């Protein structure tokens, strides 16, 4: 996958989806309340007054919802799922080994480990532990959270490990030696920051980090990419590219594919627009594709994934299409592409993966999965073959391949009621075989999945999935939980959740997933339909699903709850303020809410392309329509609401949830609850125990407040 794609996905995912120091948060210790925002003091993230308020709120919420045997049972049942030894240990191949990161009750912060394929096939494989994060924390007196590794191929013996001090996006990077299972003394090491670091060779890195004042963008990501040589101080690293302060992020990478070694620089201007350059002998060669497209060089090919229609070389290619050309031909000026995928009214490309000789496409057909395999031919055409076998209402996706060496591929297959499985295959050697199978964590025999379509306010058909008892009585009395996201072209596809099954479905509840606009379920057009001035379309879609559930007799407002996090938290804030009559309770998690100040908080500037710039009066005119913090009013009949967030969230930050809860309480609303975890970053929990607590808090709150 291209650097451009990896940068965008890393930022998006989770939005999904800033540095530990909140470098671009305009709040400051002791900030006084302003006349138009009396809760500005809560933006002082670690300030004594703000933290005293947080502690008081946490105590109230815990006493109400967490000090009961019922809560303990919910939490423990979820934790059993998260800590279960029967879970699938998902792996990534690096050379002759399969690598895995594993957390359980005995290892809450986790083990980074590896094994061989032959061993992995066994029911109880033996693992070689490379790094025990809990042991590291004990030795160093820290609370590190493992954030991943980048190992130097082809032998993968040297790795760059990312460690977060609190679960946030800011990381410390250290060089690790696999044979000795130890950090390299005097090796590459970078202090905590929002760092981009990648190998060139064993003695050189491309690095983007906090080099000092002015070296980070206003979005709090690296503005400068440098080349760093082993044995020299970071201050001696040479600049490869220097972007603008209002760029999103600058990153450089080296492609080590044998015979196709190339250097690239990606300049991300915002979430959806960037330029990619090949760095060749000190010169930058621009890959001249639309700025909202993804340019992905691989071996002799250049793939381009389009987000808008592109007319080039005498042909027109639609938004959402994947097209291909020989890389050298493209650099030479040719523009005759081959279309590998073109969407229609029902289909969109979810992703793609190279093996050594083939390209695998993950395709969504009305949000359900299928897999196609493409093979380039010497004639310039590509052969196409379907891979059958996906269960109904399932998601089948490629999670790993070995593109430098083999046609091996690994598939994840999951569905709402089908426990996930992991399959391995080699293209050309028969169908994939199940290697690992997750157990069933709840009884699904009396449940069924159905897909429905509802007409939104502007006439658009919007799909949603419903998981409900087979004998569901359409009497409007079923406790129903409606989940959504609707942003950043992120798709909500069918997936198995033992937590949802145990904490909601097993109680007799109905669970619904809304595939609203703003997501990627139908490709770029579905996302772009709810951007900026059109943002209300996403909220109209979600409200239409809620209304349809009520109309069909599945539930009623007093029995209908809603849940969403991050951008989905903004969705929840708008359900609260724009559609309060539809819901009995809302769980609003790690949310954006103050859209007037969001670009001045944490990494908020990076989302202007999604929401707009509130500092521009013309744009604020439409943004204010979906800014819950500004739109909440006294004297309304709002549903019960739980806000939860994390002090260590350096992406969205905790301050928006704090301010919204405080403002509502200041207006006299009694059914407002707030909880803030100290660790875990934007994910909310640094380990399984914390995650189980937060999930249980949300589910028990919703169940308790719904009639």
Among the ranges given (268-277, 388-397, 667-676), the one the predictor scored with the smallest mean pLDDT? 388-397
Q: Is the distance from CB of 462 to CB of 541 less than 8 angstroms?
A: yes
pLDDT band at residue 379 under the 50/70/90 scheme:
confident
Is the per-residue pLDDT at 22 higher than 60? no
pLDDT band at residue 23 under the 50/70/90 scheme:
very low
- As given in the structure block, the two tokens for residue 29 are 């210790």
Q: Is the distance from CB of 675 to CB of 58 less than 8 angstroms?
A: yes
pLDDT band at residue 686 under the 50/70/90 scheme:
confident
Q: Quick one: which of 420, 287, 412 has its CA closest to 360?
A: 412
Q: Which pLDDT score, from 0 to 100, does residue 387 have?
A: 80
Q: Which pLDDT score, from 0 to 100, does residue 94 have?
A: 98
Q: Which pLDDT score, from 0 to 100, does residue 389 have?
A: 66
Sheet holding 394-401, edge to edge: 394-401, 408-415, 421-426, 433-437
3-class secondary-structure state, position 600: helix
Buried-exposed string 161-174: b where 16+ CB fall within 10 A, e elsewhere: bbbbbbbbbbbbbb
Cα angle 281-285-291, degrees, rounded to a multiple of 5: 150
Q: Which pLDDT score, from 0 to 100, does residue 156 have?
A: 98
Q: Which pLDDT score, from 0 to 100, does residue 18 have?
A: 30
Is the per-residue pLDDT at 469 higher than 90? yes
Of the residues 24, 559, 682, 695, which is catalytic? 682
Between CA 375 and CA 383 the distance in angstroms is 5
pLDDT digits (tens, 9 = 90+) for 291-323: 999 999 999 999 999 999 999 999 999 999 999
Residue bearing tokens 């070389």: 313
Cβ neighbours, 10 Å, residue 600: 17
Is the per-residue pLDDT at 269 higher than 90? yes
3-class secondary-structure state, position 237: coil
Between CA 21 and CA 586 the distance in angstroms is 31
Q: Which pLDDT score, from 0 to 100, does residue 326 have?
A: 97
- As given in the structure block, the two tokens for residue 680 are 């875990």
pTM across the whole model: 0.94
Torsion region of 231: left, alpha or beta (phi above 0 gives left; psi -120 to 50 gives alpha): left
As a whole number, mean pLDDT of residues 151-161 equals 97
3-class secondary-structure state, position 125: coil
Between CA 11 and CA 567 the distance in angstroms is 13
Between CA 702 and CA 41 the distance in angstroms is 30
Q: Which pLDDT score, from 0 to 100, does residue 7 have?
A: 39
**Helix, strand, coil tally for the chain in percent (to 5):** 25, 35, 40
Between CA 361 and CA 387 the distance in angstroms is 10
Is the per-residue pLDDT at 8 higher than 70? no
Among the ranges given (52-56, 196-200, 428-432), the one the predictor scored with the smallest mean pLDDT? 428-432
- As given in the structure block, the two tokens for residue 174 are 């250290």
pLDDT digits (tens, 9 = 90+) for 366-375: 999 999 999 9
Q: Which pLDDT score, from 0 to 100, does residue 338 have?
A: 97
Between CA 423 and CA 414 the distance in angstroms is 11
Q: Is the distance from CB of 53 to CB of 46 less than 8 angstroms?
A: no
Provide the residue ranges of all domains of the chain, joining segments of one domain with +.
9-19+42-65+441-705, 91-191
Residue bearing tokens 């809304």: 514
Between CA 480 and CA 512 the distance in angstroms is 7
pLDDT digits (tens, 9 = 90+) for 481-528: 999 999 999 999 999 999 999 999 999 999 999 999 999 999 999 999
Is the per-residue pLDDT at 32 higher than 60? no
pLDDT band at residue 109 under the 50/70/90 scheme:
very high
Is the per-residue pLDDT at 108 higher than 90? yes
For residue 47, give the DSSP letter. Answer: -
Between CA 21 and CA 193 the distance in angstroms is 8
Q: Which pLDDT score, from 0 to 100, does residue 570 have?
A: 98
Is the per-residue pLDDT at 257 higher than 70? yes
Q: Which pLDDT score, from 0 to 100, does residue 390 have?
A: 66
Provide the total of helices (H) and of strands (E) in the chain, helices listed first. Answer: 15, 39
Is the per-residue pLDDT at 107 higher than 50? yes
Is the per-residue pLDDT at 44 higher than 80? yes
Q: Which CATH number fits domain 9-19+42-65+441-705: 3.40.640.10, 3.30.420.40, 3.40.30.10, 3.40.50.1820?
A: 3.40.50.1820
Is the per-residue pLDDT at 14 higher than 60? no
As a whole number, mean pLDDT of residues 652-675 equals 98
Dmax of the chain from CA atoms?
A: 72
- As given in the structure block, the two tokens for residue 553 are 């007799």
3-class secondary-structure state, position 115: strand
3-class secondary-structure state, position 139: helix
Mean pLDDT of the chain: 94
DSSP secondary structure string, 268-310? ESSSS-EEEEEEETTEEEE--S-TTSEEEEETTEEEEE-SS-E
Is the per-residue pLDDT at 140 higher than 90? yes
Percent of the chain with pLDDT over 90: 92
Q: Is the distance from CB of 656 to CB of 42 less than 8 angstroms?
A: no
Is the per-residue pLDDT at 20 higher than 80? no
Q: Which pLDDT score, from 0 to 100, does residue 12 have?
A: 37
Among the ranges given (22-31, 68-77, 159-168, 649-658), the one the predictor scored with the smallest mean pLDDT? 22-31
- As given in the structure block, the two tokens for residue 434 are 């199940």
The answer to whether 566 is a known catalytic residue is: yes
Of the residues 556, 566, 627, 648, which is catalytic? 566
pLDDT band at residue 380 under the 50/70/90 scheme:
confident
Q: Is the distance from CB of 483 to CB of 492 less than 8 angstroms?
A: yes
- As given in the structure block, the two tokens for residue 287 are 């890959």
The answer to whether 682 is a known catalytic residue is: yes
Sheet holding 224-229, edge to edge: 196-201, 204-208, 224-229, 238-242
The values of phi and psi at residue 396, to 5°, are -120, 125
pLDDT digits (tens, 9 = 90+) for 582-641: 999 999 999 999 999 999 999 999 999 999 999 999 999 999 999 999 999 999 999 999
As a whole number, mean pLDDT of residues 211-222 equals 97
Between CA 111 and CA 129 the distance in angstroms is 7
Q: Which pLDDT score, from 0 to 100, does residue 10 have?
A: 38
Among the ranges given (168-177, 387-396, 427-436, 574-583), the one the predictor scored with the smallest mean pLDDT? 387-396
Q: Quick one: which of 272, 270, 232, 265 has its CA closest to 251?
A: 265
Q: Which pLDDT score, from 0 to 100, does residue 35 have?
A: 52
Burial label for 260, CB within 10 Å (0-12, 13-18, 19+), is middle
The total number of residues shown for the chain amounts to 707
Cα angle 266-357-428, degrees, rounded to a multiple of 5: 145
- As given in the structure block, the two tokens for residue 261 are 């070694």
As a whole number, mean pLDDT of residues 227-235 equals 98
pLDDT digits (tens, 9 = 90+) for 547-562: 999 999 999 999 999 9
As a whole number, mean pLDDT of residues 439-462 equals 98
DSSP secondary structure string, 161-185? EEEESSSSS-EEEEEEETTTTEEPT
């Amino acid at each position: 996958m291209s650097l451009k794609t990896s940068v965008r996905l890393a930022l998006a995912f989770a939005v999904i989806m800033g540095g530990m120091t909140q470098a671009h948060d305009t709040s400051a210790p002791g900030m006084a309340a302003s006349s138009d925002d009396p809760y500005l003091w809560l933006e002082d993230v670690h300030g004594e007054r703000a933290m005293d308020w947080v502690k008081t709120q946490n105590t109230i919420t815990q006493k109400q919802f967490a000090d009961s045997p019922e809560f303990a049972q919910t939490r423990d049942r979820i934790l059993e799922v998260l800590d279960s030894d029967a879970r699938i240990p998902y792996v990534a191949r690096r050379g002759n080994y399969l690598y895995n990161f594993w957390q359980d009750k005995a290892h809450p912060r986790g083990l980074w480990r590896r094994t061989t394929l032959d061993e992995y096939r066994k029911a109880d494989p033996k693992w070689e532990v490379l790094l025990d994060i809990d042991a590291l924390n004990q030795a160093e007196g820290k609370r590190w959270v493992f954030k991943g590794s980048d190992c130097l191929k082809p032998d993968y013996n040297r790795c760059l490990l990312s460690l977060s001090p609190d679960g946030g996006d800011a990381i410390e990077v250290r060089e690790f030696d696999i044979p000795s299972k130890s950090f390299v003394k005097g090796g590459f090491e970078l202090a905590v920051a929002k760092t981009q670091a990648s190998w060139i060779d064993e003695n050189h890195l491309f690095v983007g980090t906090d080099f000092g004042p002015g070296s980070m963008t206003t979005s709090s990501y690296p503005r400068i990419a440098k080349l760093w040589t082993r044995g020299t101080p970071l201050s001696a690293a040479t600049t490869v590219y220097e972007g603008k302060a209002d760029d999103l992020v600058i990153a450089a990478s080296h492609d080590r594919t044998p015979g196709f070694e190339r250097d690239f620089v990606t300049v991300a201007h915002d979430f959806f627009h960037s330029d990619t350059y090949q760095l060749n002998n000190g010169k930058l060669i621009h890959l001249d594709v639309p700025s909202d497209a993804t340019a992905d060089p691989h071996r002799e090919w250049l793939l381009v994934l389009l987000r808008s229609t592109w007319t080039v070389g005498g042909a027109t290619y639609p938004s959402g299409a994947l097209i291909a050309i020989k890389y050298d031909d493209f650099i030479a000026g040719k523009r005759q592409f081959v279309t590998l995928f073109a969407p229609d009214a029902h289909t969109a490309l979810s992703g793609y993966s190279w093996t050594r000789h083939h390209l695998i496409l993950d395709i969504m057909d009305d949000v359900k999965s299928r897999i196609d395999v493409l093979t380039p031919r010497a004639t310039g055409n590509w052969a196409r073959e379907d891979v059958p076998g996906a269960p109904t209402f399932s998601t089948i996706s490629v999670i790993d391949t070995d593109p430098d060496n083999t046609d091996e591929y690994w598939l994840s297959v999951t569905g709402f009621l089908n426990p996930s499985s992991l399959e391995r295959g080699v293209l050309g050697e028969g169908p994939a075989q199940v290697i690992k199978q997750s157990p069933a964590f709840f009884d699904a025999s009396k449940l069924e999945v159905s897909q429905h379509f509802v007409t939104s306010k502007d006439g658009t058909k919007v799909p949603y999935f419903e998981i409900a008892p087979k004998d569901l009585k359409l009497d409007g009395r079923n406790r129903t939980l409606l989940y959504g996201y609707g942003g950043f072209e992120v798709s909500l596809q069918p997936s198995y959740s033992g937590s949802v099954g145990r904490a909601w479905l097993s109680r007799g509840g109905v669970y619904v997933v809304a595939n609203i606009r703003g997501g990627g379920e139908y490709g770029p057009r579905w996302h772009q339909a709810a951007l900026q001035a059109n943002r209300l379309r996403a909220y109209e879609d979600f409200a239409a699903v809620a209304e349809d559930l009520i109309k069909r007799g599945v539930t009623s407002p007093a029995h209908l709850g809603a849940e969403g996090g991050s951008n989905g938290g903004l969705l929840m804030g708008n359900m609260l303020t724009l559609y309060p009559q539809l819901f009995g309770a809302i769980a609003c998690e790690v949310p954006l809410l103050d859209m007037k100040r969001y670009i001045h908080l944490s990494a908020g500037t990076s989302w202007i392309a999604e929401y707009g710039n509130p500092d521009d009066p013309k744009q604020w005119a439409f943004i204010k329509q979906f800014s819950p913090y500004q739109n909440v009013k006294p004297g309304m009949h709002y549903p019960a609401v739980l806000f939860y967030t994390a002090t260590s969230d350096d992406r969205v930050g905790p301050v928006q949830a704090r301010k919204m809860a405080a403002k509502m309480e200041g207006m006299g609303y009694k059914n407002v609850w707030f909880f803030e975890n100290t660790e875990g970053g934007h994910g909310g929990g640094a380990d399984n125990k914390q995650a189980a607590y937060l999930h249980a808090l949300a589910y028990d709150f919703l169940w308790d407040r719904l009639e």
